[in-house]
């Protein structure tokens, strides 16, 4: 994917109290691909960052008055500037404690004088590409939000439009994710510094997570199209629900532990039925992801039991809970647990979960008291052939 400069203007900020250093640095970096701004003090740099958006800041550490470290701390404390990548430029960064101080104030890299022109341009170009990818990603999010608004206003033509829009959005996302992975490998090869690599890996992981989120939202939109058009079919096969759960948790437990929501399981020995494996896994992920989002950073309880001719799945979180008047509403499309919910999403997860359960001839409900967490209960028939919706 080619990012055109005129569509994504890029600014770089150079901060140094010495005119000759600024001129030398600009000479090394001068390019038609971006515009370079100069600041001779921390105060002047902050004024520029208030009025413009920058993809990268190269800051001299030792400046009179406000040092580069002081400037970095001020940048990290302001919403507009806190995410600007910082590369410190210094002639004295030989002491390990000195380097750590720079990284603690938010630097993503350190360059020592005399500068290696090739390494400098290589690193700057990487951050330029990251910035352009980020802007492109933001455009995709905006388009997705616009699509949702148009769909809600145009119910009659929703299905056809959603299908087209979803495919158009998903194709560039796949390319974008591949580019993230390629650039991560290239950048890590150019700088073996473990501290730099750790910070860059976190940046890439955050961006990749956003791409995965957008992809998930698009997949939900496509499912809405299938549901509305009567093409939400099942591909059933006999399998053990408990084995599926164990495999799913093994693959995704790290994500839940990192969010402070480890999953505690209580599984019966076996629960075999004719179900759509992909859709049942999608159902479980929807319920578990909701429990993680709203679970207040506490453990999630997952239980599978068998009673007569039905398998019973229970997912319980320890979050804020759901008011009784919302127990039915949350299973409707474009609805969330609370009307003013700021957690990202289109409000489609539980709606799709309900469709998956019902097409399997099952039942789903929520049991919750506000302030005491929420428990989602799913019942699925055992050993019965399910039909397409």
342 phi-psi bin (left φ>0, alpha ψ -120 to 50, beta other): alpha
Exposure string of 193-207, with b = 16+ CB inside 10 Å and e = fewer, is eebbeebbeebbeeb
Cα 234 to its chain centre, rounded Å, is: 29
Residue 288 pLDDT > 80, yes or no?
Answer: yes
379 SS3 class: strand
Per-residue pLDDT of 86-107, as tens digits, reads 888 887 655 555 666 666 666 6
Class of domain 236-381: alpha beta
Return the higher-pLDDT residue of 79 and 385.
79
CATH code assigned to 11-115: 3.40.50.2300
- Tell me whether strands 11-15 and 236-240 are parallel, antiparallel or unpaired: unpaired
Per-residue pLDDT of 210-252, as tens digits, reads 666 666 666 666 666 666 666 677 788 999 999 999 999 988 8
pLDDT computed for residue 89 by the predictor:
85
pLDDT computed for residue 265 by the predictor:
95
How far apart are alpha carbons 18 and 38 in whole angstroms?
A: 11
326 SS3 class: helix
In sequence order, what are the beta bridge partners of 60?
89
Question: Which residue carries 């998903």 as its tokens?
Answer: 170
Question: Which residue carries 């999403």 as its tokens?
Answer: 345
- Tell me whether strands 263-267 and 300-307 are parallel, antiparallel or unpaired: parallel
Residue 169's nearest CA partner among 148, 140, 137 is 140
In sequence order, what are the beta bridge partners of 58?
14, 87
How far apart are alpha carbons 291 and 305 in whole angstroms?
A: 19
pLDDT computed for residue 6 by the predictor:
41
- Tell me whether strands 107-112 and 35-39 are parallel, antiparallel or unpaired: unpaired
How far apart are alpha carbons 77 and 71 in whole angstroms?
A: 10
- The average confidence (pLDDT) of the chain is 79
CB 108 within 8 A of CB 76: no
With vertex at residue 333, the alpha carbon angle to CA 330 and CA 335, rounded to the nearest 5 degrees, is 45
Whether the upstream peptide bond of residue 86 has omega within 30° of 0, thus cis, is: no
Per-residue pLDDT of 139-181, as tens digits, reads 877 877 777 666 666 544 556 555 555 555 656 666 666 666 6
In sequence order, what are the beta bridge partners of 153?
none
Mean pLDDT, residues 292-301: 89
pLDDT computed for residue 316 by the predictor:
96
Residue 145's nearest CA partner among 221, 37, 50 is 221
Highest mean pLDDT among 84-93, 238-247, 275-284, 377-386: 238-247
Lowest mean pLDDT among 111-125, 242-256, 289-303, 337-351: 337-351
Hey, where are the domains in the chain?
11-115, 120-229, 236-381
pLDDT computed for residue 5 by the predictor:
38
For residue 312, what are the contacts with CB-CB under 8 A and spacing of at least 6?
303, 304, 305, 306, 377, 378, 379
359-364 CB contacts, 8 Å cutoff, 24+ apart = 359/232, 359/234, 359/279, 359/386, 359/388, 359/389, 360/234, 360/275, 360/276, 360/279, 360/280, 360/386, 361/386, 362/310, 364/331
Residue 8's nearest CA partner among 190, 146, 179, 131 is 131
Per-residue pLDDT of 328-350, as tens digits, reads 999 987 666 655 554 445 567 89
How far apart are alpha carbons 294 and 162 in whole angstroms?
A: 28
Tokens at 90, concatenated: 């210094």
């Amino acid at each position: 994917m080619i990012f055109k400069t005129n569509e994504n203007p890029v600014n770089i900020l150079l901060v140094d109290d010495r005119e000759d250093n600024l001129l030398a640095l600009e000479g090394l970096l001068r390019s038609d691909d971006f515009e370079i701004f100069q600041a001779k003090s921390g105060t002047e740099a902050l004024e520029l960052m208030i009025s413009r958006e920058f993809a990268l800041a190269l800051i001299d550490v030792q400046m009179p008055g406000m040092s580069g470290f002081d400037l970095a701390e001020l940048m990290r404390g302001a919403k507009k500037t806190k995410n600007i990548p910082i590369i410190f430029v210094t002639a004295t960064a030989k002491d390990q404690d000195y380097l750590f101080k720079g990284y603690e104030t938010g630097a993503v890299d350190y360059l020592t004088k005399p500068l290696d022109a090739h390494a400098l341009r290589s690193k700057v170009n990487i951050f330029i590409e990251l910035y352009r990818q980020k802007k492109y990603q933001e455009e995709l999010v905006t388009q997705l939000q616009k699509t949702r608004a148009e769909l809600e206003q145009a119910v009659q033509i929703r299905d056809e439009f959603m299908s087209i829009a979803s495919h158009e959005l998903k194709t560039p996302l796949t390319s974008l994710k591949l580019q993230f992975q390629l650039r991560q490998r290239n950048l890590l090869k150019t700088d073996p510094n473990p501290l730099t690599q750790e910070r860059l890996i976190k940046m890439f992981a955050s961006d990749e997570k956003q791409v995965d989120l957008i992809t998930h939202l698009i997949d939900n939109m496509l499912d809405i199209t299938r549901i509305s058009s009567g093409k939400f079919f099942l591909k059933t096969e006999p399998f053990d629900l408990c084995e599926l759960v164990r495999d799913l948790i093994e693959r995704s437990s790290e994500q839940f532990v990192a969010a402070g929501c480890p999953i505690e399981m209580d599984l019966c020995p076996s629960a075999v039925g004719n179900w759509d494996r992909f859709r049942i896994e999608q159902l479980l992920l929807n319920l578990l992801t909701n429990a993680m989002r709203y679970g207040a950073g506490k453990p999630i309880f997952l239980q599978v039991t068998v009673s007569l001719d039905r398998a019973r799945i229970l997912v319980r979180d320890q979050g804020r809970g759901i008011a009784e008047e919302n127990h039915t509403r949350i299973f409707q499309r474009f609805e969330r647990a609370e009307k003013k919910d700021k957690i990202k999403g289109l409000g489609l997860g539980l709606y799709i979960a309900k469709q998956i359960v019902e097409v399997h001839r099952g039942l789903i409900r929520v049991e919750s008291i506000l302030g005491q967490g929420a428990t989602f209960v799913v019942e699925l028939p055992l050993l019965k052939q399910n039909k397409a919706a």
